[in-house]
Copies of this chain bind each other. A is one copy, B any other.
Amino acid sequence: MGKEHHPTGKSRRGGDDLWDLVPSTVHLRDVTLRDGLQSESIVLDLGDKVSLARVMIDAGIREMEVTAFVHPEKVPAMADAERLCRELPMRSSVIYSALVFNAKGLDRALETGVDQIAVFVSASDAQSRSNTGKGTAESLAEAQGVLTRAAKEDIKIRTGVISAFGCRLEGRISPARVSDLVRALHETGSEEMTLADTSGTADPHQILERVASCRSILGGTRLSLHLHDATGWALANLTTALQLGVDTFDVTLGGLGGCPFVPEAAGNLAIHRVVRFLGAMGIDTGIDLGGLQEGLSRLERMVGRRLSPGDSP
C-alpha cells in the first residue's frame, strides 16, 4: 500500500474527457402504457389509459410507447390497441408509438394512424421463440418484410433489439449476434435503434462495448436504450450510455413493468428516479416532477397497489 498505489500510473486531467459527450438534454420515452401494463393482471380501462397519457404529456413527456399490435388473447392488456390509438389526445408535439411484429400488426397500426411503429427482434433465440413462437432468424425475416412495407407508408419507423445484453433463458448474448441484428434492421432505414436490456442483467462495460459498436454501425441515427433494473445497475448503465452520447431512454411510472414472456424480468427504469438523477447533474429532461407525481398516484389507484417512485436502493 502507500505511495506506489495508483494502479495504472495514468491519470485524467480533470476527468472532463469522460463527460464531453454527455448530452445537456435527455429524452425520456414513457412506455408505461405498453411495457408497464402488459404484465399486469389487471387490464386497465381505455379511459384510464387515455387519462394517464394526458397527465404524462402535461408533465412534459413527448414520446410515448402506448400499445402493441399483438394477438389480443396473448396480451389482453393490449386488446384495445386500435381504440386507444384513436382516443389518445392529439398533440403535434407528441410521438405515439406501438410495437408491431408482423404484417397483420402493421395493417392494424396503419389503420389507426399511430405516429410510429416499433419493430423489435430478440437477439435470444430461446426468448424469441418463447415470445413469438419464432426464432431470431425467422423473426428478423418477418420484421424486414414489415419494415420494407412500412417504408412506403406515411409512418415513422423505429427498430430495436430485445435481449441485446443477456437473457434469463440463454445467459449472455454475443456482441456479434447483436451487431448483426442491428446492421440488418438499420439497413431497412429506420429512424432510431433501441437496444433493450430485457432481463436487466447488463453491466456498464457491456453497455460501453455494445453501444460503441452499435454507434459505429448506425452513424448519426438515433440510438436509445430500454433498461430494466433487475439488479439496481440500471442507473450505472444509463450513466455509461450518457458518456457515449446516448440521449434517449425508455422509462415507466413507478418502474412498472417487465415482460410476461421473460421469467423474472424486473421493472423498467422509474421515471421519477431518472428525472431526479439527471437533474442533479444539470441534465434537462423537460419533465415536471409534480406532474409525474399526479401520474403515479393515478396509476397506483388503477393497478390497486403502491408503486415505488424508485428513489431508494
Contacts and interface: CB of A to CB of B under 8 A. Distances in A.
Given A1-B192, A11-B215, A212-B12, A273 B236 contact: no
A201 B2 CA distance: 29
Given A232-B310, A313-B255, A208 B18 contact: yes
B212 A14 contact: yes
Interface stretch (A41-49, A83-91, A132-140, A238-246): A238-246
Given A235-B236, A240-B239, A282-B205, A191 B2 contact: yes
Contacts of A259: none
Copy count, this protein chain: 2
Contact of A231 (B208, B221, B233, B313): B313
Given A233-B277, A236-B236, A244-B12, A1 B313 contact: no
A154 interface: no
A50 interface: no
Contacts of A212: 12-16
Interface stretch (A19-27, A106-114, A287-295): A19-27
Interface in A274-313: 276-277, 280-282, 310-313
Contacts of A6: 215, 219-223, 245
A312 B232 contact: yes
B3 A12 contact: no
Q: Chain A interface residue count: which class?
A: 35 or more
Nearest to A205: B281
B5 A312 contact: no
A18 B18 contact: yes
B229 A7 contact: no
Given A23-B8, A204-B281, A212-B12, A232 B235 contact: yes
Contacts of A232: 232, 235, 273, 310-313
Interface string A38-65: 0000000000000000000000000000
Given A236-B236, A313-B313, A7 B247 contact: yes
A126 interface: no
Given A16-B212, A203-B277, 10 more contacts: A2-B221, A5-B222, A6-B220, A11-B215, A11-B216, A19-B205, A205-B281, A231-B277, A231-B312, A235-B236
Interface of A: 1-23, 25, 95, 156, 191-192, 201, 203-206, 208-209, 211-213, 215-216, 219-223, 229-236, 238-240, 243-245, 247, 255, 266-267, 273, 276-277, 280-282, 310-313
26 contacts: A2-B221, A2-B222, A3-B191, A3-B221, A4-B220, A5-B221, A11-B215, A11-B216, A11-B245, A12-B21, A13-B216, A14-B216, A15-B211, A22-B205, A203-B280, A204-B239, A204-B281, A205-B280, A205-B282, A230-B312, A232-B310, A232-B311, A235-B236, A239-B240, A266-B313, A313-B313
